[in-house]
Copies of this chain bind each other. A is one copy, B any other.
Amino acid sequence: MIPEKLIQELKAIAGPEQVLTAAEDRWTYAFDATDLDHMPDAVVFPGSAAEISRILVLANAHRFPVVPRGAGTGRSGGAVPIQGGVVLVLTRLNRILEINTKDLVAVVEPGVILGRLKAAVEEKGLYYPPDPASAEFCTIGGNVAECAGGAVAVQYGVTRDYVLGLEVVLPTGEIIEAGTRTMKGVVGYDLTRLFLGSEGTLGVITRITLRLVAKPVARQTLAAAFKTLQAAGEAVSLILASGLAPTALEFLDQVTLGCVREMLPFKVPAGAGALLLIAVDGHPRDVEERAARIARFCEEQCARPVLRAKTPAEAEELWKARKVVSPSLKKVKPQKVSEDVVVPLGAIPELIAALAKISRRRGLIIPCYGHAGDGNIHVNILYDRNLAAEREAVGATVEDIFVLVRRLQGTLSGEHGIGLTKAPYLGLELSPGAIALQKRLKAAFDPNNIMNPGKVFPAT
């Protein structure tokens, strides 16, 4: 527990009303979008990088953990204060400082909600592509800390590909600038990308410079219902091999499709085994032609219907249905473990087939959906914690899946991070030498291990 004297110091730094210590207040910041939780000793809402610097100096002197947090939408336990200490909530740092249409950059604070940023950028005629399903709730700071992705990553890449520069408070309290405001830069080691996906373990991000791009002139969205997941998979392979370069290429299997069926703006035939959702960006005639060819690939695999959204509103409805897939799985079973593995593009069919086998062997429903276009598949292990057989099968099922993914030369996480949930499995992907090097890196930033301790690395 953090002693009262230090709580007073935290109040002196951030203001008394910005420090919460009542149990009911702290409880709100004990968890994220996983099922995990742990009570923090205090919750602090700092108002500036200078305040954060003073808090980290205090934490270093007295060795208490500091866990940065945005909106708590993370799926790997990154914001859960597993060793107590201070949860540093960054939602007061929520200014869009600049959207510059000449330099094609935005400068923002970490607490800005992604959806608000995207809308503000589009108002200026530009586009910030990353679009995780939580876009309306999550913060850009969390996106950077976890390197969030989303559906349009197939064409546009992930958060990493848009962060040019950062202001960061190091664990020892120094405020540094990393990266640039320019489109290119190779001065010194790439600290910017090292902070990308570092899950709050290397410092507190306090300002972000983002690259913006031209707004796509036209976008078409298609939906196609397939009899079987295999047929959908064939269509995906054809589309990827065609060079038609879709912007998004999402799939829903039978279970996930069932969960959002009534949200879709068209009638999905009974017995449909999979849905593909596809977007194509570009210049109007070009988009028209590519969408037509993609529709043909789907029809060749006997997809019925193959719908091309007629209005932006209809397209929006399709994407809305996609975005609620994850929470709507609670309709099937009360608990779930969400993984976001990635396999090489050619291995997607083998992954899907092998997951069906694991599901049968372990007696658990394992619905899949997600980013077929880049091999990043959201694999969900559903269970009821009141059923001992289901509850007890979860751990072995997770391990089966990770072993499978590694056999296919895949990776454990494409966009959710390691956090708490995957830390025990890090050794399945990284060698002891690579883990030792990563620990030396962590120590070079954070000699006293105050920043988000207990994350990324397996407990020793």
Residues of B within 8 A of A186 (CB): 146-147, 197, 413-418
**Complex contact B191–A409 (CB within 8 A):** no
The answer for the CA separation of A11 and B174 in the assembled complex, in Å, is 47
CB proximity of A49 to chain B, nearest CB, Å: 13
- Find the B residue at minimum CB distance from A416: B186
**Complex contact B418–A188 (CB within 8 A):** yes
- Find the B residue at minimum CB distance from A430: B188
CB proximity of A400 to chain B, nearest CB, Å: 18
Residues of B within 8 A of A149 (CB): 184
| Contact A193-B190, Cβ < 8 Å, known A176-B434, A289-B283, A411-B182 | yes
**Complex contact B413–A153 (CB within 8 A):** no
Stretch at the interface among A308-316, A339-347, A378-386: A339-347
Interface membership of A440, Cβ < 8 A: yes
- Find the B residue at minimum CB distance from A190: B193
**Complex contact B430–A440 (CB within 8 A):** no
**Complex contact A104–B345 (CB within 8 A):** yes
| Contact A180-B426, Cβ < 8 Å, known A185-B411, A189-B441, A191-B437 | no
The answer for the CA separation of A342 and B184 in the assembled complex, in Å, is 7
Interface membership of A376, Cβ < 8 A: yes
The answer for the CA separation of A243 and B437 in the assembled complex, in Å, is 43
**Complex contact B282–A285 (CB within 8 A):** no
Residues of B within 8 A of A154 (CB): 183
Give the residue of B174, B188, B417, B433 whose beta carbon is less than 8 angstroms from that of A175: B433
CB proximity of A286 to chain B, nearest CB, Å: 4
Residues of B within 8 A of A91 (CB): none
Contact with B along A121-132 (1 / 0, CB 8 A): 000010000000
Which residues of chain A from 73 to 99 have a CB within 8 Å of any chain B CB?
A: none
- Find the B residue at minimum CB distance from A240: B104
CB proximity of A116 to chain B, nearest CB, Å: 23
| Contact A188-B426, Cβ < 8 Å, known A181-B409, A243-B215 | yes
Contact with B along A198-240 (1 / 0, CB 8 A): 1000100000000001110100000000000000000001001
Interface membership of A431, Cβ < 8 A: yes
**Complex contact A443–B441 (CB within 8 A):** no
Interface membership of A196, Cβ < 8 A: yes
The answer for the CA separation of A38 and B156 in the assembled complex, in Å, is 44
Give the residue of B177, B217, B285, B429 whose beta carbon is less than 8 angstroms from that of A285: B285
Size of chain A's interface in residues, with CB distance under 8 A?
Answer: 93
Give the residue of B146, B193, B290 whose beta carbon is less than 8 angstroms from that of A193: B193
Residues of B within 8 A of A430 (CB): 177, 187-188
Interface membership of A438, Cβ < 8 A: yes
CB proximity of A94 to chain B, nearest CB, Å: 24
**Complex contact A191–B285 (CB within 8 A):** no
The answer for the CA separation of A280 and B213 in the assembled complex, in Å, is 16
CB proximity of A234 to chain B, nearest CB, Å: 13
Which residues of chain A from 420 to 448 have a CB within 8 Å of any chain B CB?
A: 422, 426, 429-431, 433-435, 437-438, 440-445
- Find the B residue at minimum CB distance from A432: B174
CB proximity of A453 to chain B, nearest CB, Å: 15
Residues of B within 8 A of A282 (CB): 282-283, 286
Interface membership of A170, Cβ < 8 A: yes
Interface membership of A375, Cβ < 8 A: yes
- Find the B residue at minimum CB distance from A410: B182
**Complex contact A189–B198 (CB within 8 A):** yes
Interface membership of A259, Cβ < 8 A: no
Residues of B within 8 A of A170 (CB): 433, 437
Residues of B within 8 A of A187 (CB): 411-413, 418, 422, 426, 429-430
Residues of B within 8 A of A102 (CB): 237, 241, 344-346
**Complex contact A191–B417 (CB within 8 A):** no
The answer for the CA separation of A198 and B237 in the assembled complex, in Å, is 37
Interface membership of A103, Cβ < 8 A: yes
Closest 9 CB pairs of A and B: A102-B346, A214-B243, A184-B414, A193-B193, A103-B344, A174-B433, A183-B374, A440-B444, A182-B342
A-B contact pairs, 15 of them (CB 8 A): A100-B344, A103-B347, A154-B183, A181-B410, A184-B376, A184-B411, A184-B414, A187-B422, A188-B438, A189-B438, A189-B441, A190-B194, A191-B437, A191-B438, A213-B245
